[in-house]
Amino acid sequence: MEQIFKPKLFTLFKGGLDKRQISSDVLAGIVVAIVALPLAIAFAVASGVSPERGIITSIIAGFFISLLGGSRVQIGGPTGAFIIIIYGVIQTYGIDGLIISTIMAGFILIIFGLLRFGSLLKYFPNSLIIGFTSGIALVIFSTQIKDAFGLTISQVPSEFIEKWKVYFLHIDKINFTALILAVITVFITVFSKKITSKIPGSFIAIVIITVGVQLFNLPVTTIESSFGEIPNHFNFSLPSFNFSDLFIYIGPAMTIALLGSIESLLSAVVSDGMIGGNHRSNTELIAQGIANIVTPFFGGIPATGAIARTATNVNIGGRTPVAGIAHSITLLLIMLLFGRWAKLIPMSCLAGILIVVAFNMSEWRSFRSIMKGSIFDIIILLSTFLLTVLADLTIAIGVGIVLSTISRFNWFKKLN
């Protein structure tokens, strides 16, 4: 019988790791941490919790997901997909209810892994995965327009169409300094490989842009002006609850577990395609479960594999779980020691980096190829893509799975 829990990192260490690759992974982890910092804060605030909870989640959950996971390059942490769920749980059950639900979700994820539910993902058609990935890429791109254009919008709607309406209403308030910095960041990130492949272009861009903004006192928003000071501590705490009330948390815990498992495994599949690898799905689910059990005790929120950060990791050279561990350690150091410098990074620079990430993960070539294929593959692709963008990924995946199941019936093949 195949071993269910077999962390990728342990296997790679047994086979021996190249020192050059380790150096590349550490550097990739540092850059991913810098990119992850404002995302972790933003996701936490949008979810209705304090900023440091997002950072703590990236540090602790990210560490365990990389240490024990079944993917070579998965980066774990809070994600945008959980925002609505977390906000709803807090409104109904409070922060203690969220902590309990997350811990219970962790146990459910472990059970999923032990029952080998992770293996079911291989039955997802490529059209579903490409539609989901392309949709997420477009959503990520749309979320970066505000910072890339330096727009001063107090509240950006979460809905895709409403978001773009607000952007167009504020088009006359573009901060051209921020826009130029975002364009320069994209240019450096994309073309720096022609000069050196040893240092990621995104890291070069962050250093150059941040130093330039400080030297010339350029009028752009930074992590500090957007989110304030970066906290430098976290504590171990136990939630308050009655054992007789645990059953009321089964619903939210199952929702967190299902969404987390789907998103993390799809992220792993997407990254497999980017590096030509093969993740261990059941090991990944168990690692996600352990991460979600441990993290809440330190003030964290639900975590899963983060597609944008994982794609960033791959694009800048990360190829082993060492990158994910380096990402967590870097965030810890930033939080404890270096927040006064990291907080100076311009938001337009981070937006430029994420725009490049969005383009790289858009899978536009595969998207175009599927559009030339069978009718039902096109239906699955467009349905998943449009629902991911216009509704939410939970609905998109649900509909995609249903359509994929229907497509297996012989009588639907007549449509092709």
DSSP 79-123: -GGGHHHHHHHHHHHHHHHHHHHHHHHHHHHHHHHHTTGGGGGGG
For residue 35, pLDDT beyond 80? yes
Q: State residue 240 phi and psi, 5-degree precision.
A: -95, 125
Which residue in this structure is represented by tokens 């590349």? 24
> Which of helix, strand or coil describes residue 409?
coil
User: Residue 59: how many CB atoms within 10 A of its CB?
Assistant: 27
For residue 340, pLDDT beyond 70? yes
Q: pLDDT for 87-100, tens place per residue? A: 889 989 999 999 99
In a domain, 164, yes or no: yes
Here the tokens at position 320 are 């082993």
In a domain, 1, yes or no: no
Total-model pTM: 0.79
Q: Which helix (H) or strand (E) holds 77?
A: strand 76-77
Say what the pLDDT of residue 122 is.
64
**Long-range CB pairs of 20-25, under 8 A, 24+ apart, other chains included:** 21/319, 21/320, 22/320, 22/322, 24/198, 24/317, 24/318, 24/319, 25/317, 25/318, 25/319, 25/320, 25/322, 25/323, 25/326
In a domain, 69, yes or no: yes
Indicate the pLDDT class of residue 150, thresholds 50, 70 and 90.
very high
CA distance 209 to 206: 5
User: Residue 46: how many CB atoms within 10 A of its CB?
Assistant: 18
Here the tokens at position 250 are 């089964």
Mean pLDDT of 178-195: 93
Residue 72 belongs to domain spanning: 8-406
In a domain, 154, yes or no: yes
Q: State residue 76 phi and psi, 5-degree precision.
A: -100, 155
CA-atom Rg of the chain in angstroms = 21
User: C-alpha angle with apex 215: 209 to 219, nearest 5 degrees?
Assistant: 70
Say what the pLDDT of residue 58 is.
97
For residue 244, pLDDT beyond 90? no
Q: What percent of the chain has pLDDT over 70?
A: 96
In a domain, 225, yes or no: yes
Which is nearest to 103 in space by CA: 309, 367, 311, 301? 301
Partners of 77 in beta bridges? 304
Number of compact structural domains in the chain: 1
> Which of helix, strand or coil describes residue 244?
helix
Residues 6+ apart with CB under 8 A from 306: 36, 39, 75, 76, 77, 78, 79, 267
> Which one-letter DSSP state was computed for residue 305?
E
In a domain, 222, yes or no: yes
Say what the pLDDT of residue 411 is.
46
In a domain, 414, yes or no: no
Stronger pLDDT, 402 or 216, i.e. the higher one: 216
In a domain, 137, yes or no: yes
CA distance 68 to 9: 7
- One-letter amino acid at 241 equals F
Contact 270, 310 (CB under 8 A): yes
Count of helix runs (H) and strand runs (E) in the chain:
19, 2
Which is nearest to 177 in space by CA: 358, 346, 343? 346
- One-letter amino acid at 315 equals N
